[in-house]
A and B are shown apart, each in its own frame.
Chain A
């Protein structure tokens, strides 16, 4: 168990360093590292499944001083998401940066980003979380700027400033918690927490900082520009994985550290913001003229569902309903990770072959790039939440819980959100299947197309049909 946790962090970090030293072998090193990383993630998951959650103190220091790692069902499933999506992105990036100078800069940063994500999902104390959060932010910003265009640099700079503001809010909260409770360990604080002004101020500061990083409406203003101006593999990583890191932290804090300190009003506020995010994000996605912008706004909307799930989680009593709901939120986060990365990679293929990603000029894409169009459709199914995707199961439980506790407004918003999602997905597909003026030969570039296709299949079929597994897994470990 200990080896698996250490490997998951050390492997990508080491790979990143090697990629700096030998820039020419970047493609090989990157793919090899991500392959090994996926193996480590699967190993860790199976260990957690057999032996339950586990903690580890690094370097032989005593608790409180040592860097502590903790792996449970939530963190190991997110680790696996990172590993699989990361592997697919790497395979795609090998082609994407094939003949480009950016390759030498991409691989070290990308491997560092994976290391930061793994570290974040495994960290058990609040300060290490801050460090991994900053590592993640810095590497993500540098990756966003890779394109070198003025817009992408501008977006990256804005992303950096927002990220720094968010981390400072988080760090201030950590300082207050340390003063009040004398420890940084999440479980210890969770055990000692009580309702007093210090814990409430810390809760507000940390949540606000993280929401800024997770881009919950109305703090999403930086996201569309950053996600839509980055190179395609980077957009996929940002939308599928990096925003999940912020959500993961909020989820941990709200369910494990602060459950006592959260007032019903707080849950209502988060739920309301989630609703606004769904409506606003979906509407903007429908208006978007470029595919990448559409995908970025769709991320804003999908994050809304996750936060509605969180609001429901803290307002439901502990028991079976809550466990089911927790599984549903995790499943939705996983499905969105796979679906959104699939969508961004497919858009990247379209963009490279058509030379643009304007939605109203997509006519004939279905004839020219059949496999990629299929991937977009698969991702679309998962984003709308149609069966058999994992998002269908997740949304189903969100709907039923909202009805049980009589939150009819949430039901209405989620319904409208799903309809809007259907509208923006079908707008793209409608154009893609439109009659082209000239019939060109279908292109089949397996190395570019299969990553998107595989991710789409996982999101729609695997997570949908095998979704029950998530609940079993969470139950066994808990």
Chain B
């Protein structure tokens, strides 16, 4: 439930925010929301052990999300440094 709310918040912010850093963060929030929903699906009742497959998948997803965030931040830094260069000229 919380996951769905987070995902919705993230989606809304990712579309509405103008600032690139905020957008990157918003997409991360969206991702966490989706991961939470996925983890919640592992629940199989109070007695049964949770299903392990969603955990493995979410772990992979987190790795991918970290890589993507790093790339986005690197690109953003390149843009900002080229802004500075343009001001110097």
Contact = CB atoms under 8 A, between A and B. Distances in A.
A and B are interacting partners: yes
A160 B38 contact: no
A154 interface: yes
Interface stretch (A138-146, A239-247, A309-317, A402-410): A138-146
A47 interface: no
B38 A175 contact: yes
A168 B31 contact: yes
Contacts of B34: 168, 171-172, 175
Contacts of B61: 130, 171
Interface in A122-149: 127, 130-131, 134, 137-138, 141-142, 145, 148
Contacts of A476: none
Nearest to A164: B27
A141 to B, nearest CB: 6
Contact of B72 (A161, A175, A184): A161
Contact of A127 (B20, B57, B71, B72): B57
Given A138-B71, A168-B30, A150 B53 contact: no
Contacts of B64: 131, 134
Interface string B72-84: 1001101100110
A379 B32 CA distance: 44
Interface in A332-381: none
A473 interface: no
A251 B76 CA distance: 34
Interface string A162-195: 0011001001100100110000100000000000
Given A161-B23, A178-B41, A153 B75 contact: yes
B29 to A, nearest CB: 10
Interface in B19-50: 20, 23-24, 27, 30-31, 34, 37-38, 41
A156 interface: yes
Nearest to B10: A168
Interface string A401-419: 0000000000000000000
B60 interface: yes
Contact of B79 (A131, A153, A175): A153
Interface residues of B, number: 30
Contacts of A171: 34, 38, 61
Q: How many interface residues does chain A have, given as a range? A: 20 to 34
Contacts of A65: 53
A153 B68 contact: no
Given A141-B71, A160-B71, A168-B34, A150 B54 contact: no
A178 B58 CA distance: 13
Contacts, number: 73
A153 B81 CA distance: 11
Given A145-B78, A168-B31, A175-B34, A160 B68 contact: yes
Contacts of B86: 150
A165 B53 contact: no
Interface string A264-287: 000000000000000000000000
Main secondary structure of the interface of B (DSSP, over half): helix
Nearest to B36: A175
Given A164-B27, A178-B53, A138 B67 contact: yes
Contacts of A137: 68
B60 to A, nearest CB: 6
A184 B38 CA distance: 13
A263 B64 CA distance: 33
A291 B78 CA distance: 27
A157 interface: yes
B75 A160 contact: yes
Given A160-B71, A165-B14, A175 B37 contact: yes
A141 B24 CA distance: 15
Nearest to B53: A178
A172 B41 CA distance: 11
Nearest to A65: B53
A128 to B, nearest CB: 10
B12 to A, nearest CB: 12
A161 B71 contact: no
Contacts of B76: 157
A157 B34 CA distance: 22
B31 A154 contact: no
B17 to A, nearest CB: 10
A114 B8 CA distance: 34
Contacts of A154: 79
B75 A165 contact: no
Contacts of A160: 68, 71-72, 75
B79 to A, nearest CB: 5
Nearest to B65: A164
B41 A175 contact: yes
Interface of A: 65, 127, 130-131, 134, 137-138, 141-142, 145, 148, 150, 153-154, 156-157, 160-161, 164-165, 168, 171-172, 175, 178-179, 184
Q: Which 10 A-B pairs have the closest CB atoms?
A: A175-B38, A179-B41, A157-B75, A134-B64, A172-B34, A150-B82, A164-B27, A153-B79, A153-B78, A168-B34
